[in-house]
Amino acid sequence: MNCYDCAPDHASNAAVAICRNCGAALCHEHARSTPETVVRVHGVGKSTLPELARRIVCTVCRNTQPA
């Protein structure tokens, strides 16, 4: 699978990830890692984990997220 964002430039870079929001295939150059709080619903008590997880998104979806 090739990177969706590289296609308009007629480049065929191998995809290394999929955008979590829009599902586009991404190469290393276009993939962005953003932090995400992990929530687990399991009875009563604390439902979030202390460490953040990674969320891989494309440059378009990253730019639409609030800072």
Confidence of residue 66 (pLDDT cuts 50, 70, 90): low
What pLDDT does residue 48 have? 75
Look up the domain containing 19 and give its range.
Answer: 7-64
Q: Is residue 40 part of a domain?
A: yes
Q: What is the pLDDT of residues 3-61, one digit of tens each?
A: 998 988 888 899 999 999 999 999 999 999 988 888 877 777 777 777 888 889 998 88
Predicted local confidence at residue 65, as pLDDT: 65
**Residue 2 within a domain:** no
Flag whether pLDDT at 67 surpasses 80: no
Q: Is residue 18 in some structural domain?
A: yes
Asked if residue 47 belongs to a domain, the reply is yes
Q: Is residue 22 part of a domain?
A: yes
Residue 37 resides in a domain: yes
Residue 1 lies in a domain: no
The predicted structure's pLDDT at residue 34:
86
Strands (E), 3-52: 17-18, 25-26, 32-36
For residue 39, give the nearest of 30, 31, 28, 51 by alpha carbon: 51
How many structural domains are present in the chain? 1
